[in-house]
Amino acid sequence: MKKILAVTGCPTGIAHTYMAEEALKSAAQKAGIEIKVETNGAGGIDNAITDADIVNAIGVIIAADKDVNPDRFNGLPVIEVPVKDGIHKAAALIEKIMSGTVPFRKGAQNSTNNTVLSNQVEAKESIGRQIYKHLMSGVSNMLPFVVAGGVLIALSFLWGIYSADPNNDQYNEFAALLMKIGGQAFGIMVPIFTGFIAYSIGGKPGMVAGFVGGLIANITGAGFLGGIIAGFAAGYLMFFTKKMLDRLPRSFEGLKSIFIMPLIGVFVIGAGMFLLGGPIASINNGMKSFLESLQSANPVLLGIVIGAMCSFDFGGPVNKAAYVTGTILLGEGNFYFMAGVSAACIVPPFVIAFSTTIFRSKAFTEEERAAGLVNYVLGSTHITEGAIPFAAKDPLRVIPIMMLSSAIASVLTFICQIQVPAPHGGFLVLPLVNKPFLWVGCIFIGSLVGAILLGLIRIDQNRQLAAKKSI
């Protein structure tokens, strides 16, 4: 039976991936068409698309912000969009596939697809979209290392800030073990980040060169900025090297993939990073010094910027930029910045939760109140994406409210000089926070301000709607 195929994936693989899956399934059910959705989540690939599925496919929807191996769909009608479109525009995507006007994906036709059309058109992605997907592929694969390593390091502080130092009275052997393990996991986040950017572009040869480039970025102090440069350089170097070596006879295939390409990639990227590492490190240190000086000289301005970034796109690229900056500074021993970032990320779902509780039937439907209860859990565990369904309904009003609320929480966190040594976990890491109750208070103050504003706006909207109906 003919059906639509879909693939969803977001950088963290926690919320957007599955929200897009549900939205696409619901839209397909309403349209009376069968759909199979493959999810690329944090735990790996679920409901994987097979060759048999591809044979019977009438089209493919790829709603993903990372690499999901789209080449397997070459020769099929394919729509490639950001994961947020899979959530907000699911019905339109289904309708477009059904219309038969979708371009065929470029590249060699998939061997399992026997349909050949004379008027085949190539589906193209913008350069910006491609760069973003490669970057998010690196972020997606890096985050588990950041979270696991960061939390283990933070747990070691339960025995004291110097508990891993054998020359200090606070020394604890188990705490030192946690610090060593966490340090190793946290320490390879740049090579992992760099390697998977390169892998997304140039495949396995790219990953080899990218990983080495990331290691050298660590050694030279080039950090994430150096990692980004090394990742893209390695990926595109291997991409074009492979194209040039494709002219060699097939008998050279093994030599090419195991010897020639890795050797070229590692040498060129390694040499380049050793040459560029110093200048990039200077830029990195300048940026870090600026943020740290702003943190002490103007915490209000810093809090406003961080808060607005974290709630601008609820886990999207702007949010990730703030979060990754927080992890960089966390690795440098700055726990203040992460406190502001975490607070700002936790606030949006709590705005929804508090508002649906305070105003209940006056402003929200029964379905929205049920979603509000879920947001208590999502907020407590640092999952910003819980606010997306509410923001999607009225973005011009809801997003500014969220940005204001997050900014308030972040500003208060910086003013109170709260430190959070873990990169994720929400309230689960409260024992590690230097002023846990004050931190929760900062978050709740920002959330309550937003909750009241959201509730009042919804009440006003309901009054206007009732007035129109009565006319």
Looking at 10, 310, 345, 442, which residue is catalytic?
A: 10
- Could you tell me which of 232, 239, 233 has the C-alpha nearest to residue 202? 239
Q: Is 10 a catalytic residue?
A: yes
Point out the residues that are catalytic: 10
